[in-house]
Structure 1
Amino acid sequence: MQPAVEHAIEAMWDRYEEPLTLSEMAAAASLSRFHFSRVFRSLTGTSPCRFLAAVRLSKAKDTLLQTSRNVTEIAYEVGYNSLGTFTSRFTRSVGVSPARYRQLSRSGMPVPLPAAVPGARGVVRGLVGLPEPAGPLRIYIGAFDSPIAQGMPVACDVLDAPGRFRLEGVPDGAWFIRAAAVPLRDVDPRPWKRKPLFVGALEPLHIRREKTLDLDLELHPLGLLDLPVLIALPELDSAELPEVVERVIGSERRTHPRPARSERPAPRASVDLLTSPRCA
């Protein structure tokens, strides 16, 4: 079933701007709606509609960095018919507003360390491993409240090589551990090109206060089944290259001029798949 689901995900990346229904996504996999939803969730950890929503926001991130188009135009281009919905969802998922995200691409941004919360919390610690030798890497690890790496993690750690990590102050509850590794050598100064080489995931861990959970986290090469990383890192962790980034971004944007107002895509009849009954 994996090739069928991968074919559907390819369709999402190719047709993200269209108001795709669950039936259309299932048809791309040559499966019934029910069977497709069940298999898709088992392989990706989330529903087809939430995966598509993540793809759209990932595309919006790239477009914000590569072009000078305004936020309204980008919202329509990635399949939203409401600027307010797009902006609020982008801000909640990426951690900053679309305009701030574009601004930070020129200077980089610090690792978002969660604020300390009083009271006894749990600890998740362990060893990060790679399936194959690789050059110098920076590895981001965080605990999130959903399968998608989005918003502010409740705890995080950053390593400059595979090794031991530690997530402090994890609240009681079920948390998803997500990791992404990017190269530290020959870094492309264009932030939209700074995609993870390896990713890792642990399905919900049930954390209890004053308890320490030991585990190993094995990374694997980024593949079609892996959810996009929506949080602003790692692509904006480029503060060491601000002048080069600004020069390259400015050059790239000049080659992607803003389209005339008449060329803006028309609003779509039904695009918000997270609330559409067709994707329940």
Structure 2
Amino acid sequence: MQDAAERAVVRAIDKMRNNLSEQLTVDDMARAAMFSKFHFTRIFQRVTGVSPGRFLSAIRLQEAKRLLMTTNLNVTDISLRVGYNSVGTFSTRFTKSVGLPPTTYRRMGGYTGRISTQQISTGTATVSGRITMDSNDSPPGLIFMGLFQHRIPEGLPIRCAILDTPGHFRFTNVPDGTWYLLCHAMSGEVFRLQPKNVMVATVGPLVVRVRQRYEVDAQLKPVSKLDPPVLLALLDARKAAFERQYGTSSTPAIAA
């Protein structure tokens, strides 16, 4: 059962989702949550792991992804619908967060054929552990997992991999820094990102230092309104699975 803080944050998130084309302020969100501006910002950060403004930006781009896949609206119209007055600013932010320009994302059906990693100098730390899930939940599809700089899975991870099923993982040569382990699994079509077919897990922040070994466990759970959207374009899991099974690709479907 949600506590009072979570219910307040859900009210603010509903306000965001219902007014994406408007220029919402933190005051507007705080009023929807029925908290003071200062108290609201602290509570929102605690519950979701990100600031209200960052969460709003993420759901704007999440809605843009949906519109690109389910409508014939052009990029300019979509940018206006999700609150951007400049199509150039929208395209730049979409590309940086999703990993593909809006038109490419639409052309590729919402998937990407490959997820690269950031070109950060190789480190010496190791992050390993186990991904689990509740026995009552339905089996997920392939599980994407990566180490990211921020709580929202966007842009390029520093390390990433795919698991066929929940189980053990291991990242080596992890650079020094503060990282988040973000995981998601999805069954069904990419544009039908509903709670029933998306599972997520988050661990962090992980403060990684030279030559250290870190053991972390993460449990997949159905995505909720309180989870920041997954902005990174999803790997074409069907193609990746085929290539991994039959060895039809000369390059890996995903870099780790």
Pairwise same-fold verdict (TM > 0.5): yes
Q: What does the per-residue CA deviation read over 1:29-69, in whole Å, with 9 as the maximum and x for residues that have no partner?
A: 11110000000000011110110000000000111111122
Q: How does 1:2-17 map to 2 (within 5 A)?
A: 2-17=6-21
Counterpart residue number, 1:193: 192
2:181 is paired with a residue of what secondary structure?
strand
Counterpart residue number, 1:156: 160
TM-score (norm 2): 0.85
How far, CA to CA, are the matches of 1:165 and 1:216 in structure 2? 10
How far, CA to CA, are the matches of 1:119 and 1:7 in structure 2? 43
Q: What does the per-residue CA deviation read over 1:89-131, in whole Å, with 9 as the maximum and x for residues that have no partner?
A: 101000111111111117x433413267654432211000112
Q: What does the per-residue CA deviation read over 1:181-226, in whole Å, with 9 as the maximum and x for residues that have no partner?
A: 213xxx34xx301555211111210112322211111122211110
The verdict on how the C-alpha distance between 1:238 and 1:97 changes in structure 2, with shifts beyond 3 A counting, is farther
Counterpart residue number, 1:60: 64
- Residue 131 in 1 paired to residue 147 in 2? no
How far, CA to CA, are the matches of 1:30 and 1:115 in structure 2? 40
Q: Count how many residue pairs are aligned between Structure 1 and Structure 2.
A: 234
The verdict on how the C-alpha distance between 1:26 and 1:118 changes in structure 2, with shifts beyond 3 A counting, is closer
Contact 2:199–2:221 (CA under 8 A) maintained in structure 1: yes
Q: Which has the higher contact order (CA 8 A, sep 6+)?
A: 1
Contact 1:125–1:164 (CA under 8 A) maintained in structure 2: yes
1:230 is paired with a residue of what secondary structure?
coil
How far, CA to CA, are the matches of 1:162 and 1:181 in structure 2? 10
The verdict on how the C-alpha distance between 1:202 and 1:33 changes in structure 2, with shifts beyond 3 A counting, is same
How far, CA to CA, are the matches of 2:232 and 2:19 in structure 1? 23
Equivalent residue for 1:114, pick from 113, 117, 121? 117
1:227 is paired with a residue of what secondary structure?
coil
Counterpart residue number, 1:244: none
1:20 is paired with a residue of what secondary structure?
coil
1:79 is paired with a residue of what secondary structure?
coil
How far, CA to CA, are the matches of 2:18 and 2:223 in structure 1? 18
How far, CA to CA, are the matches of 1:169 and 1:10 in structure 2? 41
Matched residue type, 2:98: V
The verdict on how the C-alpha distance between 1:120 and 1:21 changes in structure 2, with shifts beyond 3 A counting, is closer
**CA shift at 1:136, angstroms?**
4.8
Matched residue type, 1:131: D
Q: What does the per-residue CA deviation read over 1:114-170, in whole Å, with 9 as the maximum and x for residues that have no partner?
A: 267654432211000112342253111111111110001010111111101122332
Counterpart residue number, 2:244: none
Contact 1:142–1:167 (CA under 8 A) maintained in structure 2: no
RMSD, matched Cα: 2.0
Counterpart residue number, 2:49: 45
Equivalent residue for 2:82, pick from 50, 74, 78? 78
How far, CA to CA, are the matches of 2:200 and 2:78 in structure 1? 27
How far, CA to CA, are the matches of 2:73 and 2:101 in structure 1? 15
Structure 2 residue ranges without an equivalent (≥5):
241-256
2:100 is paired with a residue of what secondary structure?
coil
Matched residue type, 1:24: D
Counterpart residue number, 1:273: none
The verdict on how the C-alpha distance between 1:149 and 1:120 changes in structure 2, with shifts beyond 3 A counting, is closer
Counterpart residue number, 1:169: 173
Contact 1:144–1:154 (CA under 8 A) maintained in structure 2: yes
Structure 1 residue ranges without an equivalent (≥5):
241-280
Counterpart residue number, 1:25: 29
2:13 is paired with a residue of what secondary structure?
helix
Equivalent residue for 2:105, pick from 97, 101, 104? 101
The verdict on how the C-alpha distance between 1:138 and 1:237 changes in structure 2, with shifts beyond 3 A counting, is closer
